[in-house]
């Protein structure tokens, strides 16, 4: 909306925009954008432009605008470990029959080493170190593990040791178990040895990590940990590579200056722990570099009851886009 209002205001004031603009609305992002990629394919010629301006991101804080340069990719896998051909009584079979929850626990526990690094073969291939001047800039933001984790009742960063919390969530890959289930999970107790146990596991990717290779490495690892008389099934749930935009490009520096003129504090270049897969498609299918600028605030309660969009974000957001449009057209 801020961008549309910016275009309207620009036209009202100057009679026309300083450059040609195509506005693309996406209404299916929360359900995986099933129509967007086919639409890009069908309309590639018309949609192709110098840059894609993407506004689905946020500010660093109320005074500091931000440009996102990295978006983590994602690989999702569901695994089902099967042992016996039926649930067993642990009195009759306990201590002799394979328990698939034991295998699954060992598999999941073995995904990280003592340093918090993911153990899959070749997992860090394509992971690039964040340039030291960018890390230095992130350090000036004053974020700490205590502050960041304190908001959700935690205090100790998990994951890779020796990395700042911003680096961990913006620029490092992860393995997270998102769900696990097996055996008796109701009230009370049943001394059952389950026939099956399942888990959903996802990997956040950075840099040039290859989702297909990570999936293969995961499956190879899991198979190596399954007892010979048990079996495992895999179900793939999406895979998209990370997107790393240059930390230092003409586009980014132009936008940085334009934003810094509008807000009390200069713009910062940050990362994003989540994914916006369409940015990768803009790059691959239309050859377009993206600029990720948005004005959401951390207290906007995105996807939650009482979601809001700040009036200051709205007004200064409009003014920000006008400055960026002007600067890019110049």
Binding residues for a copy of itself restricted to 176-205, rule: CB under 8 A: 176-185, 188-194, 197-200, 202, 204
Q: Give the long-range contacts of residues 32-36, CB within 8 A, separation 24 or more.
A: 32/238, 33/277, 33/278, 36/278, 36/281
> By rule CB under 8 A, what count of residues binds a copy of itself?
81
If you ran DSSP here, which 8-state letter would residue 28 be given? -
Hey, is 140 helix, strand or coil? coil
Please, what is the minimum distance in Å from the beta carbon of residue 259 to a copy of itself?
A: 22
Residues 6+ apart with CB under 8 A from 72: 170, 173, 174, 204, 205, 206, 242, 271, 272, 273, 274, 275
Please, what is the minimum distance in Å from the beta carbon of residue 123 to a copy of itself?
A: 13
**Do the Cβ atoms of 288 and 49 come closer than 8 Å?**
yes
In sequence order, the β-bridge partners of residue 64 are: 61
**CB-nearer residue toward a copy of itself: 72 or 323:** 72
**CB-nearer residue toward a copy of itself: 46 or 86:** 86
Q: Which of residues 206-265 bind a copy of itself (CB under 8 A)?
A: 227-230, 237-238
**Which pair of tokens denotes residue 53?**
């301006």
**CB-nearer residue toward a copy of itself: 22 or 191:** 191
The stretch near a copy of itself (CB under 8 A) out of 44-52, 88-96, 247-255, 307-315 is: 88-96
Residue 127 is a binding residue for a copy of itself (CB under 8 A): no
Residue 80 is a binding residue for a copy of itself (CB under 8 A): no
Please, what is the minimum distance in Å from the beta carbon of residue 162 to a copy of itself?
A: 13
Residue 160 is a binding residue for a copy of itself (CB under 8 A): yes
Residue 152 is a binding residue for a copy of itself (CB under 8 A): yes
Quote the CA–CA distance of 247 and 269 in Å, as a whole number: 7
**CB-nearer residue toward a copy of itself: 11 or 237:** 237
- Quick one: which of 309, 305, 281 has its CA closest to 32? 281
- Residue from 53, 67, 79, 104 touching a copy of itself (CB under 8 A): that is 104
């Amino acid at each position: 909306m801020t961008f549309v209002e910016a275009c309207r205001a620009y036209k009202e004031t100057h009679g026309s925009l300083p450059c040609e603009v195509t506005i693309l609305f996406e209404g299916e992002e929360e359900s995986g954008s099933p129509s967007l990629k086919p639409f890009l394919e069908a309309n590639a010629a018309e949609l192709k432009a110098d840059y894609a301006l993407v506004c689905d991101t946020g500010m660093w804080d109320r005074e500091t605008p931000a440009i996102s340069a990295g978006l983590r990719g994602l690989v999702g896998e569901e695994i089902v470990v099967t042992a016996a051909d039926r649930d067993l009584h642990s009195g009759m079979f306990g201590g002799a029959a394979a328990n698939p929850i034991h295998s699954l626990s060992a598999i999941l526990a073995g995904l990280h080493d003592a340093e918090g690094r993911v153990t899959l073969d070749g997992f860090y291939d394509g992971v690039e170190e964040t340039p030291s001047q960018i890390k230095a800039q992130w350090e000036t933001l004053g974020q700490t593990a205590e502050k960041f984790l304190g908001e959700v009742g935690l205090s100790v960063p998990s994951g890779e040791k020796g990395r700042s919390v911003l680096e961990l969530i913006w620029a490092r890959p992860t393995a997270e178990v998102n769900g696990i289930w097996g055996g008796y999970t109701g009230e009370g107790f049943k001394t059952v040895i389950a026939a099956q146990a399942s888990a959903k596991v996802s990997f956040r990717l950075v840099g040039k990590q290859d989702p297909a290779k990570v999936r293969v490495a995961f499956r190879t690892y899991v198979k190596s940990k399954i007892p010979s008389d048990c079996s495992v099934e895999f179900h793939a749930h999406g895979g998209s590579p990370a997107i790393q935009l240059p930390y230092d490009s003409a586009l980014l520096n132009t936008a940085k200056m334009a934003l810094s003129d509008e807000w009390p504090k200069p713009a910062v270049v940050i990362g994003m722990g989540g994914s916006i897969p369409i940015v990768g498609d803009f790059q691959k299918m239309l050859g377009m570099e993206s600029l990720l600028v948005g004005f959401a605030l951390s207290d906007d309660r995105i996807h939650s009851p009482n979601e809001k969009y700040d009036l200051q974000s709205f007004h200064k957001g409009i003014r920000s886009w006008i400055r960026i449009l002007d600067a890019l057209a110049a």
